[in-house]
Structure 1
Amino acid sequence: MTNHHSETERASLYNSAQSVESQIEALRTGSVPVSVYGLGKMGLPLAAMYAKTTGNVLGADIDSAVVEELNEGHCHVKGEPELPELVAELVSNGALSATTDPLEAAEYGTVHVVIVPTPITAEHEPDLSILDAVTDDIGSGLETGDIVIIECTVPPRTTAERVRPALESASGLSIGEFGLAVCPERTSSGRALRDIRGAYPKVVGGIDAESARVTELVYGELTDADVLRVSDATTAEAVKVFEGLYRDVNIALANELATMAEELGIDVLEAIEVANTQPYCDIHRPGPGVGGHCIPFYPYFVIAPFETPTPLLETARAVNDSMPGFVVEKLGAEFEAEGMALSDASILLLGLTYRPGVEEIRASPSLAIAEQLSAQNALVYGVDPMLESVAEFDLQRLSLPEIEERAFDAVVVVTPHEEFESIQWDELERSSGQLFVLDGRDALDAPAITDAGHRLYTIGVGGDRGV
């Protein structure tokens, strides 16, 4: 890697005898080499911000295409404002490069930042195999004075009880000779650089006091926000997991209330909005399900590894996982009222990613909705301007212009991308009867739908609002 700083400039921050000012100077001038493990949707923005701050970052990723693109100055992550330009600049000036060999990165850095995924198994247990492999690689190259920072979200106690002994075993060193801390990412797709720069305080917790001090110093230079030092690494892990648990439980409450809209005879969304004017109330918005790489998975970081019963978390997961089925049941009931079978229906899904403006499909409600509709032999189509491929979905892809050339029995808005605002609803047709529009996100202009002669059902509101 020709753009790396020379080994003679290498400096450490952990147990350094230098003054704090000298340590910050070393960090900012590239004398402290940084290795970032994982260059995905969260890892590449983080590596870029480290490189912008320190001028000396080597990223590691096992995906050779990702590494090749990065070393050519290209950004493989889509939908992140400013990131492509920043990556091109950093690679051009030698501040950022990448390797497919994590051992090379382990031998290179004195600050090691881990931001790899923690998937969930089919049995709903956290799969820490990727973290384990990276930990072993880092341990093989770990030297006295290095510090390892875990940014990825993991079950509480992972760093203390899994990462620490693995590093000590692989390196032959002990805590006190190297540092270990947790600084969980608090970043959302589509706004990663903004979040890292300082949208929220950074949270740090160390295995020992020196690890916490060094991590606080590093992130004090990386972000404009406050850096909050908590008691230990496990507390820092718990902070990130608890954030996700809160949102999952809150959304489950909103979803359960939304399913009661017709029986209650009210607009539940209106009731939620007004209830939230009370400062102790903050009910989230309902929808057709919960997707992404965070909220649907983090509850299992607490449910699976620990013996304490977690009935609330498990119930919330069940409620949120049921919402795609709620959508399918609503479609079936509407067609049945017309004397039509779901198996004879042609249904268009608008928005396949889990959130507007991002290309992430992990746990997207559209996956389950398409699968369940297809299982009942409905003809399912999908439109999503963010995706190059819809191979993971059980449906036929259409472009946005093509939807005016076909007739559908129902349209379901799952994820309201900005591009859908251009849809001319009076141009959409049904072969017979009224088109049924199910708005899963309260994103549509109700009069525009009903004025076009279509029937409208909005989750949390009920049917035919605006007529």
Structure 2
Amino acid sequence: MRAVVVALGKIGLPIAAQLARTGHEVIGCDVDQRVVDLVNAGQEPFPGEAQLAEVLADVVGRGLLRATTDTAAAVATAPDLVIAVPPLMVDADAEPDWSILDAVVADIAAGLQRAASEAVVTVSVETTLPVGTTRARIAPALAAGSGLLAGTGFHVVFSPERVFSGRIFQDLATYPKLVGGLDAAGEARGVALYEQFLPDVEVRAMGGAEAAELTKLVETTYRDVNIALANEFARHADALGLDVQQVIDAANSQPFSHVHRPGVAVGGHCIPVYPRFYLAGDPDAVLPAVSRSVNEAMPAYAVGLLGDDVPAAGRVLILGVAYRGGVKETAFSGAFGVRDELLARGLHPVAADPLYDAGELAALGFEPWLPGTPIDAVVIQADHREYATLTPVDVPGARVIVDGRGVLDPAPFTAAGVPVRRIGSPAR
């Protein structure tokens, strides 16, 4: 088949590459000329995605994948399938900003109008959305912009991405692919198209776009609620002087318990955001709202573990501004909450991250730390692998370490008389 993938980010580009590596002709679309140029050169525009560099070099070299900034023109070639993965940006309260998604839908609609005489194109949206968005917002916009009727002039399905940055090809070959349409014929067509490039997994018809939309929100809201419960257990374990991870591991040793790990923050584009999308449709739900409050309070709780070991106006080093280890992304990172709590307590936060240079840190609102400069304390916010081997020499002057991710080997610090405190673990 022939396919178009719109938005060549950390999700869209691997999907385009997966389509191409299974033998299909793919046009990738992105507004960033730099991304388009790199893809056309067979080079990955962002680091950290397993196999992507090799797959891109192969499929671009074989002429199966090319990129463009002109989405309407790509859709006008009448592909069998258009997959749209534009970011749905949100504000600090996770309220959606529809401008990017609406612009992408408008471009697709313009292409559909030009493609109408050649094919009935299936448009699949993979961006996570509040329930009802595909039917009530996207399909009418496609119809208005193309002059075609959904179900006859084009099909629309919702198929949520269910992958994790860094292992997307592995996840695409592991988890069932969910497809929900506006009608039975469109859904069946969507299932058949996905089966052509995901041969190793079940492609599951959901019986409607709303069921597929809700499934993604259930997955992510469950994780947020689970992490909040783990954080509640951790705070109680701190009060009791117990190691919560030992307790959680013991509880999870039987098949009915699946408690996640506690930590300094829940960050990223997904877990802090999608429970808000769920609550938008179910405002009377109690657990998702409470869980968000619990998890949003964890950066302040982590700073509180510094105790009285930091002098007034002391310098506290935040290690890791990325929301998780190995990923250069700060969406809803706990580093912002840690910084703000330190400032509220009259302390002096500085920050370092192996993925960000000093200029990037400053642009994010952090004072960069010059390695070797004495500090009074450390809060580890991201589980970068580099932090596992830190020693007192690396953080001169530190009187206390709060390991918000449980990544640090405490032995060198314990030997030097520097306490290492973890969330839900006795002070060492």
TM-score, normalization: structure 2?
0.92
CA apart distance, 1:166: 1.4
Q: Does 1:94 align with 2:63?
A: yes
1:159 to 134, 140, 143: 134
| Residues 414/42 of structure 1: CA separation in 2 closer, same or farther (3 Å cut) | same
Q: AA paired with 2:235? A: T
1:450 to 389, 404, 414: 414
CA apart distance, 1:385: 1.7
Moved more, 315-324 or 80-89: 80-89
Whole-Å Cα distance in 1 between the matches of residues 191 and 308 of structure 2?
Answer: 56
Whole-Å Cα distance in 2 between the matches of residues 75 and 163 of structure 1?
Answer: 30
Whole-Å Cα distance in 1 between the matches of residues 282 and 324 of structure 2?
Answer: 33
CA apart distance, 1:373: 1.9
Residue in 2 aligned with 1:189?
165
| Residues 121/419 of structure 1: CA separation in 2 closer, same or farther (3 Å cut) | closer
Indicate conservation of the 8 Å contact 2:318/2:349, yes or no: yes
Q: AA paired with 2:247? A: A
1:213 to 188, 196, 202: 188
| Residues 426/66 of structure 1: CA separation in 2 closer, same or farther (3 Å cut) | closer
* TM alignment of 1:238-257, pairs within 5 A: 238-257=214-233
Residue in 2 aligned with 1:113?
83
Indicate conservation of the 8 Å contact 2:187/2:207, yes or no: no
Whole-Å Cα distance in 1 between the matches of residues 92 and 410 of structure 2?
Answer: 40
**Stretches of 4+ aligned residues off by more than 6 angstroms:** none
Indicate conservation of the 8 Å contact 1:370/1:393, yes or no: no
Indicate conservation of the 8 Å contact 1:59/1:96, yes or no: yes
Q: Tell me, which stretches of 5 or more residues in structure 2 are unaligned?
A: none
Residue in 2 aligned with 1:222?
197
Secondary structure of 1:222 counterpart: coil
Residue in 2 aligned with 1:10?
none
Q: AA paired with 2:333? A: S
Q: CA RMSD in A?
A: 2.0
Whole-Å Cα distance in 2 between the matches of residues 408 and 438 of structure 1?
Answer: 14
Secondary structure of 1:203 counterpart: strand
CA apart distance, 1:279: 1.8
Secondary structure of 2:156 counterpart: strand
Moved more, 416-425 or 309-318: 416-425
Whole-Å Cα distance in 2 between the matches of residues 246 and 276 of structure 1?
Answer: 17
Larger radius of gyration: 1
Moved more, 367-376 or 354-363: 367-376
1:170 to 125, 145, 149: 145
Whole-Å Cα distance in 1 between the matches of residues 283 and 388 of structure 2?
Answer: 47
Secondary structure of 2:82 counterpart: strand
Residue in 2 aligned with 1:461?
425
Whole-Å Cα distance in 1 between the matches of residues 221 and 30 of structure 2?
Answer: 29
Deviations 1:74-126 (A, max 9, x none): 21121112112222222222211111122112212331111011122345322
CA apart distance, 1:334: 2.6
Residue in 2 aligned with 1:11?
none
Residue in 1 aligned with 2:309?
335
Aligned length: 418
Residue in 2 aligned with 1:133?
103
Whole-Å Cα distance in 2 between the matches of residues 386 and 308 of structure 1?
Answer: 38
Residue in 1 aligned with 2:337?
368
Deviations 1:278-320 (A, max 9, x none): 322111100001001100000111222x364122211111111
Indicate conservation of the 8 Å contact 1:126/1:300, yes or no: no
Whole-Å Cα distance in 1 between the matches of residues 315 and 366 of structure 2?
Answer: 11
Whole-Å Cα distance in 2 between the matches of residues 193 and 232 of structure 1?
Answer: 26
* TM alignment of 1:71-82, pairs within 5 A: 71-82=40-51
2:241 to 256, 261, 265: 265
CA apart distance, 1:184: 0.8
Moved more, 416-425 or 371-380: 371-380
* Identical pairs, percent: 38
* TM alignment of 1:338-417, pairs within 5 A: 340-341=311-312, 343=313, 345-388=314-357, 389-398=360-369, 402=371, 405-417=372-384
Deviations 1:30-65 (A, max 9, x none): xxx211111111111111111222441111111222
Indicate conservation of the 8 Å contact 2:266/2:296, yes or no: yes
2:213 to 221, 232, 237: 237
Q: Tell me, which stretches of 5 or more residues in structure 1 are unaligned?
A: 1-26, 28-32
Secondary structure of 2:420 counterpart: strand
Q: Does 1:441 align with 2:417?
A: no
Secondary structure of 2:402 counterpart: strand
Indicate conservation of the 8 Å contact 2:309/2:399, yes or no: no
Q: AA paired with 1:259? A: R
